[in-house]
Amino acid sequence: MVNLEEQIKLLVELQGLDTQIFKLEKDLRSMPEEIKRMEEELKEKTGNLKKLEEGLKALQVKRKEKELDLEAKEGTIKKYQIQLYQIKTNKEYTALQQEIARVRADNSLLEEDIIKILDQLDIENQEISKEKGFLKTEEIRLTEEKKRRDEDAKRIEAELAHLKGQRDELIKKIDKSILPKYERIIKSKDGLAVVSVANEACQGCFRILPPQVINEIKMKNDLVFCDNCARILYIEE
């Protein structure tokens, strides 16, 4: 003859262990996902650096272009200056001098542009080294976080092994006709098979229970299940 009162106590105890086991297993499962999420976050942050470096490259190209342009125009001025000696008429001389003045004006604009670009290059280089420093810190943080998670995982695994050992001992005491029912419910009901009754309501689904059901639970002749969520009901002493 099964002592139902004792069996229910054992089931409540088993539920307590299983609740801890379920929670720890869930924590363990979520860990690789969290690491992946953090790695993706870091990858996204490196995108900013890439953008800055591309901007810098474009600016350097622009600088080179302006410098080459300046060099070519300075060559033109030199050429014109040599031509000045070979000119015969006053009119031609004046025209060429005007042309030289025009190219010189162009050149001083180019020089101003180049100075602006150099200033901008300074600013962008500073931004890049700031961004690199930031990423370095983030990488260190991620490495430390991974290490911490690894340690957590080891601790959780050890705790799980201990709890499962306790569980194996406990289920030996549970009646062979009762245990399969419990195992079936816990699998289908998200790790919660045994629930208490409080304020006349099932604490699994919070449905109010009829007085007759509550009486049946109190009588402890047989397992009583919630009509709504099918979990095993008990009343806390």
- Contact residues for Zn ion, defined by CB under 5 A: 202, 204-205, 226, 228-229
- Indicate the Cα dihedral angle 94, 95, 99, 101, nearest 10°: 20
Shortest Cβ 174–Zn ion spacing (Å): 21
194 vs 226, beta carbon nearer Zn ion: 226
Determine the angle formed by the axes of helices 4-86 and 90-171, rounding to 10 degrees: 170
Least separation in angstroms between residue 207's CB and Zn ion is 5
Q: Given the complex with Zn ion, which of 80 and 225 has the nearer CB atom?
A: 225
Q: How far is the CB of 209 from Zn ion (least distance, A)?
A: 8
Q: How far is the CB of 231 from Zn ion (least distance, A)?
A: 5
CB of 217 to Zn ion, least distance (A): 12
Please, which residue, 174 or 226, has the CB nearer to Zn ion? 226
Beta carbon nearer to Zn ion, 70 or 185: 185
Closest distance to Zn ion from the beta carbon of 4 (Å): 20
Q: Which is nearer to Zn ion, 117 or 223 (CB)?
A: 223
For Zn ion, which is the closer residue by CB, 117 or 232? 232
